[in-house]
Amino acid sequence: MNAPTITNITTIATAPSGIPLLVVRVDTSEEGLYGLGCATFAWRWSAVREVVESYLRPALVGRPVTAIRDTFHLAHRNAYWRSGPVLNNAVSGVDMALWDIAGKRAGMPCCDLWGGAVRSSVDVYTHANGQSVEELRESVARLADEGYRFIRCQLAGYGPRAEAATGAASVISPSDRIASIVDMFERIVPDLPDGVRTLHDVHERLHPTDAMQLAEKLDRFDLFFLEDLFAPESVDWFRRARERLRTPLAMGELFCSPAELNTLVEEGLIDYMRVHPSFYGGITPCLDLAVRCEAKHIRTAWHGPGDLSPVGAAANVHMDFAAPNFGIQEWVIRSELEYEMFPGLPAVKNGRIEPPTAPGLGVDIDLQLAERYPAGVEPTRWTHTRFDDGGLTYP
């Protein structure tokens, strides 16, 4: 029997929590059969939508839904120039949707298509934040009471907010930032409930010399991992860190191409791979990446922020259950509206997610509800962080 073919590819842009989300829907020649995928690039979502609807749709309509890997490579290479966040998110939307369709046709969750679940639950970590250490301590205690055992601690986000007149989103004094983060952990760690581990995200916002100084000072706090200590291209600094630090390092959310991460993986310079699946091109390349990382004893910790659609969050969970080298899953606490708009969105109980049971990715979308919360103009100031001398930081 011939496989169904792609008959249409459309996008749904919505913002149930104020962050633009872009979901791709792939319709097929089989009545009632469709798939959903995540293509969310919140800061450039309209550019991704244009690529999906003006370029990928005419190139892919008519192809069999079973040709997932071939379709991924065709979509990735069709413009000749490859990778990048706009193209990869567009490709991801289609790729995830085709895997969703494959699971639905087989009548099984996607993780079962990839060999079946290799664990009974997955651990997640979520975010605690506060403008002061006191606020942060309250946030940590509340999350621990809800059953979270892994909590990322951030003081004033990624840096103090700036006055609007500066044109910056926040302003960082490297010396003050280092001192405040060390002080934060000195005051938070002694009061942690039993069994709770902390994490921290530097977000590349310090010069490598300052970042190394911070990391060395944090070594004594036994963090679960330290994230984005350096920019992806700072390979030599990762080598130095490997020699000097005991804290596990996590990296990856800015990667869009295997070429960017080859050295870090091959030399085992990180402990947790933090790729954002839609920015990497979808499920197909991430499954390959997980296997590569397993060979180097690097564990997965797929990026899972608020600017990830619930469809993408579900894709992460399916890959978590299928990967022997799963480490942990980032998880933002979703609103009731998001659970209503995206029925089937995985739920967290006592800091863990249970195995998915619905066919495919298991998440649908209420189109009428999504239309009531349209995505607005893309944010433009989030990455405008500056040092106290006025120079731009990394993101």
Residues taking part in catalysis: 158, 203
Spatial CB neighbours of 68, under 8 Å, sequence gap ≥ 6: 95, 98, 99, 102, 284
Contacts 24+ apart (CB under 8 A), 208-212: 208/234, 208/237, 210/174, 210/175, 210/177, 210/178, 211/237, 212/237, 212/240, 212/241, 212/244
What kind and span of H or E run contains 103? Answer: helix 85-106
Using an 8 Å Cβ cutoff, are 276 and 89 in contact? Answer: no
Residue 223 CA to residue 17 CA, distance in Å, equals: 30
Coil, helix or strand at residue 214: helix
Minimal CA–CA distance to 110: which of 36, 60, 24?
36
Using an 8 Å Cβ cutoff, are 128 and 136 in contact? Answer: yes
Displacement of CA 333 from its chain's centroid (Å)? 14
Both tokens assigned to 300: 């997965």
Minimal CA–CA distance to 328: which of 298, 349, 287?
298
Instruction: Tell me how crowded residue 87 is: count the other CB atoms within 10 A of its CB.
Output: 22
E strands in the chain: 6-14, 21-28, 34-38, 122-130, 150-155, 171-172, 197-201, 226-227, 249-251, 272-273, 299-300, 329-330, 352-353, 386-387
